[in-house]
Amino acid sequence: GVAGGQPPWEGKQEFTFLLKGSSGEMSVIIPAIVKLPEMVVAANRPLAKGYVLREDDLVWIPMPRGLNYGPEDCFAQTELLVGQQLRRAMSTQQVIRLNEVGPPTIIHVGDLVGIGVVSGGVTVETNGRAIESGAIDDLIQVEVQPHRKRVLARVTGDRTVEVISNGTAHSPQTIRTSGIG
């Protein structure tokens, strides 16, 4: 049997081990330093890739042993995960690593998007189609309609992207057009 230890359960502790052998019982006092495991955030149920996390999807667990990564690669606060999108599927009690989530995708392949082309103090707006999916501030390929020319653009909002050419001004003029020639 084992006895001992006292609150706060961390730091220096003493434990008494009761050993039984052929010559009878013996008590051995063993000093120890106790360190509780790091707590990390994990999924509390199976979650699909692309799922946007909510508070009730998350649970605190002690950092599992034997993994090829440490607590510094994991989340220690649930608030940082709420509203983030999973980049891979998760199983119940699986630790969520920093690189396994990101901002939610707001533009998907094939979406029609508004394209703002900014050059100096002038913005030209046209329409296009997303060739790649992306979240806010991601760089994605879009196809300018009707010419089908592909350009790299930064996601700025729901179904809107921006192409920057030769810098921008603080208050650009906006010109609407049906295409970029």
Question: What pLDDT score does 98 carry?
Answer: 95
Residue with tokens 């900014």: 118
Q: Kindly indicate the confidence band of residue 19, based on its pLDDT and cuts at 50, 70 and 90.
A: confident
Asked if residue 91 has pLDDT above 80, the reply is: yes
Asked if residue 100 has pLDDT above 80, the reply is: yes
Mean pLDDT score, 130-149: 92
- The full 3-state SS of the chain, as one line of letters, equals CEEECCCCCCEEEEEEEEEEECCEEEEEEEEEEECCCCEEEEECCCECCCCECCHHHEEEEECCCCCCCCHHHECCCHHHCCCCEECCCECCCCECEHHHEECCCCECCCCEEEEEEEEEEEEEEEEEEECCCECCCCEEEEEECCCCEEEEEEEEECCEEEEEEEEEEEEEEEEECCCCC
More confident residue, 42 or 11: 42
Are the beta carbons of 96 and 74 closer than 8 angstroms?
A: yes
CA 73 centroid distance within chain: 11
Torsion of the alpha carbons at 103, 104, 106 and 109, rounded to the nearest 10: 100
Token pair recorded at residue 164: 């920057």
Q: Kindly indicate the confidence band of residue 181, based on its pLDDT and cuts at 50, 70 and 90.
A: very low
